[in-house]
Amino acid sequence: MSKIKDKRIWITGASSGIGEELAYQLASKGAVLILSARSVDKLHAVKEVCKEKYGANVIVYPLDVSDLDAIEKAVNHVTDKLGQIDVLINNAGFGHTETFTEYDFSKVENMFKVNVLGLMYMSQLIAKNMIQYKSGPIINVASIAGKVATPKSAVYSATKFAVIGFSNTLRLELKEHDINVTTVNPGPVDTAFFDEFDPSGAYLKNVSSVVLSAEYVASQTVKAIGTSKREVNLPKLLDVASKVYTLFPTISDYIVRTAFNKK
């Protein structure tokens, strides 16, 4: 509990899904929360639960992480008010499933702005703050999709591969400042994310045996705070699958292609 209590923790994508659940679990442990997302009403609803149920100190700062100017303004405002940011959890992100040759390229650009560039800029600005105090983990929520590619998720997978690669390098650069960088790589999580990712429901149906709850992913993320973990890969089955995919890529391509072509 001591590693969480009174720590200033900034969560992006905090209005629903994993981010919302992170807010509740961290509030229950006495964290001071900065909650960001685009939806002001949803953020305030999450804040009220945190305050009423756990007596938490919560700051709401609406933010579109695709807007770099808005990120800079937000970081300047929050750090001027609070000083040190102890933990950053970059959780904001979205995806679509679509055959790449049919993909609207404006969606490609927007997804990279949110999933990659916004995450990178938040990390850069908050890392500068953390370096002043020589402490503070950065946790980037990526995905098993950043390790194992699946059909119709080319763009989403590309963004998550980028997040993992970026995080691995940032970890090396921040090590001398005692700042750890962890990637959380869940498989499919049963949240509103899939309302946009795959409205047909076919994707979730194909992977139903490994679908996770937001509560579980959040709990494993919270456990990683204050540790030196490089990655949290969920569930164990997909952690193993990602290793097999790396060792036996040709066979793995066949298995994945076959599994995701099920009707």
3-class SS at 112? helix
**Which residue out of 24, 54, 61, 156 is catalytically annotated?**
156
Query: Which secondary-structure segment (H or E) carries 233?
Result: strand 231-234
Q: Give the separation between CA 237 and CA 39, rounded to whole angstroms.
A: 34
Cβ-contact 103, 154 below 8 angstroms = yes
Q: How far is CA 39 from CA 6, 12, 36, 212, in A?
A: 26, 11, 9, 24
Q: Which of 116, 138, 132 is nearest to 177 (CA)?
A: 132
Cβ-contact 164, 147 below 8 angstroms = yes
Alpha helices in 83-201 (DSSP H): 105-112, 119-133, 154-174, 193-197
Query: Which secondary-structure segment (H or E) carries 231?
Result: strand 231-234
User: For the sheet containing 32-36, what is the strand order?
Assistant: 57-60, 32-36, 8-12, 87-90, 138-141, 181-186, 231-234
Q: Which of 96, 148, 154, 155 is nearest to 255 (CA)?
A: 148
Query: Which secondary-structure segment (H or E) carries 69?
Result: helix 68-82
203 flagged as catalytic: no
Ramachandran assignment for 36, one of left (phi > 0), alpha (psi -120 to 50 degrees), beta (any other): beta
Which are the catalytic amino acids?
A: 156
